[in-house]
């Protein structure tokens, strides 16, 4: 390496906005660049000779670090997001790339980590997500208000559905998506006349036929964008039954999207345990037995079993307590 390229390298490391950390093979820090000091709040004296783990927060799992080392030791670049801690204790989101540095013979002699502070980007991402959820909630509330159903019904159905999805082994991301999408299950009621929704007596066959159109109306309101696919499936199929006796299409078994089979259990359980103009609230145990009874008929047996497990472990009761029935 000639003098010029050495100067250029040092200059680059000292001046880039990304944080650079170089350690020896024992993970002892040999170099950090000014950007590192600026973001983390440490002085060079405080970090040189230490290990990068001084920045560790409890928010990055041991599993993430294990995967990181697997990739690095195999000679690759590990790239991922971790949450680190500054000297002050404040957390920051790091988009990190880390790898071994090898000599001409291919023998590793150091590690280099390059990270970017993405805290602000993460905050904005979260804000956009929260705004989306809020808009979904408001739209769902507008539909439910027509039916005198309260916001706490939506919250309970949301978190029952999320818990069932997790219990069935779906990923965290899928569970969360099924949860918030479930709030729009009855959005199609916006198109159903109040006279039908609020009628206390028995519906005439014509009125009932009109009522049964709320799933397709809901799916139509949710448009065609791919990010509402789960919400559309739930709106369209939450009244389908496992044995094919539901509406509107009479789909059966796995023809019914899993998200809809999940919300069907959550929605029915909540309707049973809530009081409506035509019925009193049922005790939780009685509603639970009703769900089990519907296994293989109204409900997907696996979903009903997952619900029962959650009930047994008090997860359902905890959600009920958190979002009480008004
Ligand atoms: Fe419905
Ligand atoms: Fe509902």
User: Residue 35, by phi and psi: left (phi above 0), alpha (psi -120 to 50) or beta?
Assistant: alpha
The Å distance, Cα 214 to ligand 1 centre, comes to 7
42: confidence class by pLDDT, cuts 50, 70, 90? very high
Q: Identify which ligand lies nearest to the alpha carbon of 156.
A: 2
**Model pLDDT for residues 291-301, shown as the tens digit of each residue:** 999 999 999 99
Task: Decide if 323 contacts 152 (C-beta within 8 A).
Answer: yes
**Model pLDDT for residues 131-179, shown as the tens digit of each residue:** 999 999 999 999 988 887 778 999 999 999 999 999 999 999 999 999 9
Answer yes or no: is pLDDT of 206 > 80.
yes
Residues 86 and 103: their CA atoms lie apart, in Å, by 32
Domains delineated in the chain = 3-117 (3.30.450.20), 122-322 (1.10.3210.10)
Task: Decide if 72 contacts 111 (C-beta within 8 A).
Answer: yes
The Å distance, Cα 230 to ligand 2 centre, comes to 16
- Catalytic member of 51, 189, 225, 312: 189
Q: Identify which ligand lies nearest to the alpha carbon of 211.
A: 1
Displacement of CA 283 from its chain's centroid (Å): 30
Q: Is 189 a catalytic residue?
A: yes
Q: What percent of the chain has pLDDT over 90?
A: 85
Task: Decide if 71 contacts 26 (C-beta within 8 A).
Answer: no
The Å distance, Cα 55 to ligand 2 centre, comes to 46
From residue 101, alpha-carbon distances to 11, 51, 115, 283, 301 in Å are: 19, 17, 16, 64, 54
The Å distance, Cα 196 to ligand 2 centre, comes to 16
Helices (H), 150-213: 151-167, 172-182, 194-197, 205-211
The Å distance, Cα 228 to ligand 1 centre, comes to 17
Place of tokens 């706490």: 152
Output the average pLDDT for the chain.
94
Residues 34 and 16: their CA atoms lie apart, in Å, by 9
């Amino acid at each position: 390496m000639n003098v010029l390229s050495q100067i250029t390298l040092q200059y680059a490391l000292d001046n880039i906005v990304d944080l650079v950390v170089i350690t020896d093979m024992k993970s002892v820090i040999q170099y950090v660049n000014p950007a590192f000091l600026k973001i983390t709040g440490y002085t060079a004296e405080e970090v040189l000779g230490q290990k990068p783990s001084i920045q560790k927060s409890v928010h990055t799992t041991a599993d993430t670090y294990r995967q990181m080392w697997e990739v690095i030791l195999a000679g690759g670049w590990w790239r991922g997001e971790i949450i680190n801690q500054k000297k002050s204790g404040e957390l920051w989101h790091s988009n990190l790339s880390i790898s071994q540095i090898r000599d001409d013979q291919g023998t590793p002699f150091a590690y280099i980590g390059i990270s970017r502070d993405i805290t602000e980007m993460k905050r904005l991402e979260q804000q956009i997500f929260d705004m989306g959820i809020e808009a979904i909630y408001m739209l769902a509330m507008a539909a439910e208000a027509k039916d005198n159903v309260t916001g706490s019904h939506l919250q309970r159905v949301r978190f029952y559905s999320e818990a069932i999805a997790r219990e069935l082994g779906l990923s965290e991301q899928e569970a969360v998506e099924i949860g918030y999408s479930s709030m729009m299950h009855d959005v199609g009621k916006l198109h159903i006349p109040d006279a039908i929704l609020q009628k206390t007596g028995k519906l005439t066959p014509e009125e009932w036929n009109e009522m049964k159109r709320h799933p397709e109306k809901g799916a139509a309101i949710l448009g065609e964008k791919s990010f509402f696919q789960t919400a559309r499936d739930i709106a369209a199929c939450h009244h389908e039954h496992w044995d094919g006796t539901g509406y509107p299409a009479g789909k059966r078994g796995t023809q019914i999207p899993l998200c809809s089979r999940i919300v069907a259990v959550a929605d029915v359980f909540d309707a049973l345990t809530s009081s409506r103009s035509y019925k009193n609230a049922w005790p939780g145990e009685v509603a639970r037995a009703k769900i089990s009874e519907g296994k293989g008929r109204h409900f997907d047996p696996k979903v009903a079993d997952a619900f029962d497990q959650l009930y047994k472990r008090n997860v359902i009761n905890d959600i009920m307590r958190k979002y009480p029935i008004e």
